[in-house]
Structure 1
Amino acid sequence: MRLLAPACAALALLAAPAAAAETSSAGEAGRIDGVRVWTLPDTPNGLHPSQSWHATGSAPNGDLYVAGMDHRTNAALYRLAAGTDRLRLVGDARSASEAARNWEPGETAEKFHTRPLWFGGKVYVATMDRSGLDDGYLSRRGFHWYAYDPAADRFGDLSAAEPGGTGLPHGGLVALAADPASNAVYGAVVPTAEIVRYDVARGTTENLGRPAGYDRPYVYAGRFMFVDSRGRLHVSAGHPGGAAGAPGAGAGRDASPYSHLHAYEPGRGMTALPDLALAQPRALETGRCFPERRACVAADDEGHVYRFSEEGPAWTFLGPVARDRPGARLWMFQVTADGRRAYAATTSYDPGAGPAALYEVDLATGASTRLCSLADLDPRLGRRTVHTGSDAWDDRGRFAFASFAADGSGDVLLTRVDPVRLKAALAAR
């Protein structure tokens, strides 16, 4: 049951918010100095977070955000405020949509797969209710936009004011990027790899389509995309032999549409960028941009690292990050504020392969140095096989990432690492 909202969506967050719950956790010190670990708390309406897909981010003031989900029914957003050790639930999809009378009987929100995006004083996430690259998404309701206002401590369903109560009739979002010049948020759609644009002032979503070269109906959309200072959105998608659970182009198919980036530019539409070539035709998964330097660093799930500079523009392949086991994926990649280093950990679906390792990557030389096992940070991390997180840094130079079991059993752990203190502790040992 839903009630059509006649008001402007820009007011929906304040008019019909979901009350923030007080569920929180103080976390625990890790095994080694500079590390602290939290278990994502359950929500009052019964969600037990068991997964967290690419859903860790931060705000300019150093607040950290992480989303937790059960991949079946609901997803929630948590905040670790700068200068504190208190991880707190700020809202969940179902509660926010029920408060806005925009939750239908039997509806689910499997994930907030999007990295929490800070933009214009709020944190944006969106739902993805089905991951499969097939037509099964047509049986589900489309995605909802949500925003958290930290000043008002309110988490609300922005899509309640849109026609039909969703951004699109069907499909979910897997990545977000902001365009300050046009006051808009872009989203990448699963399973079609279309791009949508949410006009923040008007509270409306527009489907912009996708690059014409994509040669199949369902495409693995990149989990990281970015907007340059000229307002061009850069995207990647659909790689042969793709990430776990994502079918590739297949035998006999042309991989060239996925061997480089594409751009969407307002007024011009989609454009192929063959000069921004990829070492392999693989979608970008993680990254960080530096607007003041007009540059970005990005990586795919096999650890191929790239640097983008608007001067030129230039797109440079920096080399691969070392992986601790064959077939492992790289979904945790944290680039430092100076852009000189990154910290990375791999994911393996083989629970018998042992704990993943934490690496420091020199982005000038491409060299990777193994710092320690993740189990050295906290023994519980040794029992988690999936590690995700990108561009999640607080105001003290500490990064955060999420860890969970690939089969969805158990809890989600959020780990915050001070790399300076950690390296000093490791050296002392």
Structure 2
Amino acid sequence: MMRKSACLALALCLSLAPGAGQAADGPATIAESTPSGWPGTVEGLWHWALPTTPNGLYPRQSWHATGSAPNGDIYVAGMDHRTNAALYRIEAATGLLRYVGDARSASEAADNWRPGETAQKFHTRPLWHRGKIYVATMDRSDLDAAYLERRGFHWYAYDPATDRFTDLSAKEPGGTAVPHGNLVSLASDPVNDVIYGAGVPTGEIYRYDVASGRTQDLGRPTIYGTPYVYTGRVMWVDGRGRLYFTAMQPEDPARLDHIMYYDPQSGFGEEKDWKLQEGMALETGQCTEGGRRCVFADDRGHVYRFDQDAHSWTYHGQVQTGKTAGWGGVEFWLFALSPGGDSVYLATSTSPKTSEDTALYEFDLATGRTRTICVLADLDPAFAGRHVHTGYDAWDRQGRFYFASFGYPDRPVIVSRIDPDRLKAALARRAEQGHGAAIAR
């Protein structure tokens, strides 16, 4: 099986689970059905459940689809990996979670949804760009030619000022951004008012001009060689407008074992000295200072830092969990760079193992040391049966990060908020009390 079949195999398992494709009985508790969510069992933890949409989409998955706005609002996409995908918002002012739109409804409103069409996922992290949130569809993620049998991807935007979620591609030729293909990651260039997208399965780079509402296919690096590549799930634009991205060839990892870029002036290029461990494409990350400084990770827990001013790429080491990283072991799809920029919070996911094998860690960038914070299933009952934890660069203005969790049984995706300082303090108190009780006995 090719590398990266983990998420595909999990998607298949979920699609075959009892109740797949139909609305389940709903949230397990009254608390899970409320927009305000419910408190975790440990201080510093809060949860929400993604509700079923008005047109019947029951969100059972959320792949890398958690993002934030400058005011602290959090956006999360939920999907069923079969028919449709929706966008939700947690309002910073009220803490309430609500549905804001879905692909099918927005496209039907624009008369741009064909019979039998599907939008399996908003796999792209919800992207803040000049006052709006953007997502795009991925309707097929396999690395083969079957994508040619389906319409190309749609761009969608949510405008918080008007509370409207719209299909932007309805105004493009043919009603899609391109005739065929999907998007898996986005990056914003606010200076030039364009959004970049990385495609699946070919690895094409696309550029959406917001003012004109048109998508341009920029092509892809000639070094790819083969028709299909695994496209990195995160990319970024630095302070000078250069786009950086990664890809991987499972059959030949050394071929694409470095950072590539697209420069609006000179086109595609390579930073051959900016190496990727084991040839692994980047999966998660977070930038500061307008893209001048960033920290990234792949799904095996290798952590890197980008510095524009020094024009440097630094490898900081690998998160140590005591478990095998990769397919059949643990994978890292949750990433939150601490506000001070000195450490990273990461969590493991398992496919297809159980939630008891997933844990939250803190990785110190200066020392390369890993600290285990907790096993998630032990932390709170909400994580039981949910063994996939995803999301990156989703912080509010109070220093709390957000992520989505899903898995078995067939229950709604939950979104969790962690205040890391309060959580660590609460766990320390719990440990002290447990130690005291042991001595008393």
TM-score normalized by structure 1? 0.89
- Partner residue in 2 for 1:10: none
Contact residue 70 and residue 408 of structure 1 kept, 8 A: no
How many pairs align?
394
- Partner residue in 1 for 2:276: 278
Contact residue 31 and residue 376 of structure 1 kept, 8 A: no
Cα distance change of structure 1 residues 408 and 168 upon mapping to structure 2, 3 Å threshold: farther
Aligned residue for 2:384, secondary structure, equals: helix
Instruction: Determine which of 54, 67, 75 is the counterpart of 1:65.
Output: 75
- Partner residue in 2 for 1:383: 385
Residues 287-310 of structure 1: CA distance to partner in whole angstroms, max 9, x if unpaired? 000125711000001010000001
Residues 164-220 of structure 1: CA distance to partner in whole angstroms, max 9, x if unpaired? 111111111000000112110000001001100000011000001111101211110
Letter in 2 for 1:231: G
Offset of 1:365 from its aligned partner? 1.2
Taking the aligned partners of 1:105 and 1:324, their CA distance within structure 2 comes to 49
Contact residue 355 and residue 382 of structure 1 kept, 8 A: no
Cα distance change of structure 1 residues 183 and 292 upon mapping to structure 2, 3 Å threshold: closer
- Partner residue in 2 for 1:202: 212
- Partner residue in 2 for 1:359: 361
- Partner residue in 2 for 1:244: none
Given the alignment of the two structures, is residue 175 of structure 1 paired with residue 176 of structure 2, yes or no? no
Ranges in structure 2 where 5+ consecutive residues have no aligned partner: 1-32, 431-441
Contact residue 356 and residue 382 of structure 1 kept, 8 A: no
Cα distance change of structure 1 residues 97 and 219 upon mapping to structure 2, 3 Å threshold: same
- Partner residue in 2 for 1:419: 420
Taking the aligned partners of 2:41 and 2:181, their CA distance within structure 1 comes to 42
Instruction: Determine which of 145, 155, 163 is the counterpart of 1:145.
Output: 155
Letter in 2 for 1:412: V
- Partner residue in 2 for 1:269: 267
Taking the aligned partners of 1:224 and 1:285, their CA distance within structure 2 comes to 6
Taking the aligned partners of 1:324 and 1:413, their CA distance within structure 2 comes to 27
Letter in 2 for 1:303: G
Contact residue 74 and residue 92 of structure 1 kept, 8 A: yes
Taking the aligned partners of 2:64 and 2:277, their CA distance within structure 1 comes to 22
Letter in 1 for 2:319: V
Letter in 2 for 1:272: E
Residues 233-286 of structure 1: CA distance to partner in whole angstroms, max 9, x if unpaired? 0010014xxxxxxxx12xxx4x43311011100121110110211122011000
Offset of 1:144 from its aligned partner? 0.3
Taking the aligned partners of 2:404 and 2:373, their CA distance within structure 1 comes to 18
Residues 343-400 of structure 1: CA distance to partner in whole angstroms, max 9, x if unpaired? 1110111334724111111111111111111123321213111110100001111000
Taking the aligned partners of 1:197 and 1:31, their CA distance within structure 2 comes to 44
Once the two structures are overlaid, the 10-residue window that deviates more, 306-315 or 350-359, is 350-359
Taking the aligned partners of 1:207 and 1:324, their CA distance within structure 2 comes to 43
TM-score normalized by structure 2? 0.87
Offset of 1:24 from its aligned partner? 6.5
Taking the aligned partners of 1:138 and 1:424, their CA distance within structure 2 comes to 52
- Partner residue in 2 for 1:90: 100
- Partner residue in 2 for 1:399: 401
Aligned residue for 2:241, secondary structure, equals: coil
Offset of 1:230 from its aligned partner? 1.2
- Partner residue in 1 for 2:199: 189
Aligned residue for 1:284, secondary structure, equals: coil
Offset of 1:133 from its aligned partner? 0.5
Within 5 Å, give how 1:200-239 maps onto structure 2. 200-239=210-249
Letter in 2 for 1:138: L
- Partner residue in 2 for 1:16: none
Taking the aligned partners of 2:409 and 2:271, their CA distance within structure 1 comes to 38
Contact residue 333 and residue 343 of structure 1 kept, 8 A: yes
Letter in 2 for 1:197: R
- Partner residue in 1 for 2:303: 305
- Partner residue in 1 for 2:29: none
Contact residue 51 and residue 408 of structure 1 kept, 8 A: no
Once the two structures are overlaid, the 10-residue window that deviates more, 373-382 or 98-107, is 373-382
Given the alignment of the two structures, is residue 80 of structure 1 paired with residue 90 of structure 2, yes or no? yes
Offset of 1:408 from its aligned partner? 8.4
Contact residue 236 and residue 291 of structure 2 kept, 8 A: no
Once the two structures are overlaid, the 10-residue window that deviates more, 73-82 or 343-352, is 343-352
Taking the aligned partners of 1:351 and 1:284, their CA distance within structure 2 comes to 23
Q: Cα RMSD (Å) of the superposition? A: 1.5
Taking the aligned partners of 1:291 and 1:426, their CA distance within structure 2 comes to 33
Taking the aligned partners of 2:103 and 2:271, their CA distance within structure 1 comes to 36
Once the two structures are overlaid, the 10-residue window that deviates more, 112-121 or 334-343, is 334-343
- Partner residue in 1 for 2:341: 339
Taking the aligned partners of 2:206 and 2:74, their CA distance within structure 1 comes to 26
Cα distance change of structure 1 residues 262 and 385 upon mapping to structure 2, 3 Å threshold: same
Aligned residue for 1:106, secondary structure, equals: coil
Once the two structures are overlaid, the 10-residue window that deviates more, 343-352 or 269-278, is 343-352
Contact residue 324 and residue 357 of structure 1 kept, 8 A: no
Contact residue 294 and residue 306 of structure 2 kept, 8 A: yes
- Partner residue in 1 for 2:255: 257
Q: Which has the higher helix share?
A: 2
Letter in 1 for 2:134: Y
Instruction: Determine which of 40, 51, 64 is the counterpart of 2:61.
Output: 51
Taking the aligned partners of 2:400 and 2:172, their CA distance within structure 1 comes to 38
Taking the aligned partners of 1:100 and 1:343, their CA distance within structure 2 comes to 41
Aligned residue for 1:280, secondary structure, equals: helix
Cα distance change of structure 1 residues 61 and 68 upon mapping to structure 2, 3 Å threshold: same
Contact residue 35 and residue 377 of structure 1 kept, 8 A: no
- Partner residue in 2 for 1:7: none
Cα distance change of structure 1 residues 287 and 96 upon mapping to structure 2, 3 Å threshold: same
Ranges in structure 1 where 5+ consecutive residues have no aligned partner: 1-22, 240-247
Aligned residue for 1:262, secondary structure, equals: strand
Cα distance change of structure 1 residues 125 and 206 upon mapping to structure 2, 3 Å threshold: same
